[in-house]
Amino acid sequence: MKKRIDQFAYFEDMLKPDDFLVFAAAPQIGTHTEHYGMPQWSSCVEAALRRLRGEDEEFLREWGDLMERIRPAPDRVTADIDAAGRLLLESPWELGADVLEWFA
């Protein structure tokens, strides 16, 4: 780990700030396709909505107790699951930090 940190420090000193950010981010580019704005985001949102509606039987069978362990979904989500889904797709920040934390 120390070697990796030292390597990062070396390149941070050697490169311009923008170039260093590209260097630091390059290994992650294209690996997280299920985050907001990425190609698989809508599939992730739909899966979450199906689970909230109780439509994903396999998930409930395998992970049903997870919903109890993490606490019930926030009222803002359960009051209108479709509206919450639209916000997740279009502007998730409008749901607020507490709701996004629950989804995370």
Model confidence at 51, pLDDT cuts 50, 70, 90, reads: confident
List of long-range contacts for 73-77, beta carbons under 8 Å, 24+ apart: 73/102, 74/98, 74/99, 74/102, 77/52, 77/102
Model confidence at 29, pLDDT cuts 50, 70, 90, reads: low
- CA neighbours within 13 Å on the CB side: how many for 49? 17
pLDDT value at 80 more than 90: yes
pLDDT of amino acid 86: 94
Model confidence at 17, pLDDT cuts 50, 70, 90, reads: confident
pLDDT value at 84 more than 90: yes
pLDDT value at 57 more than 80: yes
Quote the pTM value: 0.62
pLDDT of amino acid 14: 86
